């Protein structure tokens, strides 16, 4: 389904980061690896901040004068079905999939949303996702 409105794009952005936040919270409780647990708690905290940022961005940037349809963003392109957290290696791999998915969405959406401030927030979020990917990759070798 196409995310054809500003609200739909912002709502979906919030859903994505909520999914990530929930996963990291659950996974950090499941792992016995202290390093991984610390990283997952940090990622969960970042993702929760992202949720607040998305809600604030939606609230402050909705512009009644130019609520024009938005084209080219399809929900299914970014959907990831998640299993309950398994072994540490699987947790890291799932985290990478989520971060790569989020990064792709925010990069794609920044080019589609015609509001500079929203696009800036999306680009900045995509950049942080890039850093998260590096953090997870650095740990991937350690957890096998």
Q: Which residues bind other proteins (CB under 8 A)?
A: 1, 3-8, 11, 55, 58-60, 62-69
Residues 51, 115: Cα–Cα separation, whole Å = 19
**CB-wise, 2 or 130, nearer to other proteins?**
2
Contact 4, 71 (CB under 8 A): yes
**CB-wise, 19 or 26, nearer to other proteins?**
19
**CB-wise, 3 or 121, nearer to other proteins?**
3
SS (H, E, C) 41-62: HHHHHHHHHHHHHHHHHHHHHC
Give the phi and the psi of residue 2 in degrees, each rounded to 5. Answer: -75, 140
**CB-wise, 5 or 131, nearer to other proteins?**
5
The least CB distance from residue 128 to other proteins, in Å, is: 24
The least CB distance from residue 17 to other proteins, in Å, is: 16
**CB-wise, 67 or 79, nearer to other proteins?**
67
The least CB distance from residue 132 to other proteins, in Å, is: 27
Residues 6+ apart with CB under 8 A from 24: 40, 41, 43, 44, 47, 95
The least CB distance from residue 115 to other proteins, in Å, is: 12
The least CB distance from residue 15 to other proteins, in Å, is: 10
Residues 6+ apart with CB under 8 A from 7: 58, 62
């Amino acid at each position: 389904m196409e995310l054809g409105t500003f609200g739909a794009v912002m709502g979906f952005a919030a859903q994505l980061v909520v999914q990530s936040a929930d996963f990291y919270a659950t996974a950090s409780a499941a792992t016995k690896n202290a390093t991984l647990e610390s990283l997952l708690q940090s990622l969960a905290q970042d993702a929760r901040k992202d949720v607040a940022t998305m809600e604030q961005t939606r609230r402050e940037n909705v512009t009644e004068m130019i609520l024009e349809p938005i084209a080219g963003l399809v929900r299914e392109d970014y959907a990831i079905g998640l299993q309950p957290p398994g072994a540490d290696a699987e947790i890291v791999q799932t985290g990478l999939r989520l971060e790569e998915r989020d990064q792709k969405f925010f990069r794609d959406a920044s080019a589609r949303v015609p509001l500079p401030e929203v696009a800036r927030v999306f680009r900045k979020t995509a950049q942080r996702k890039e850093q998260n990917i590096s953090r997870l990759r650095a740990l991937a070798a350690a957890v096998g």
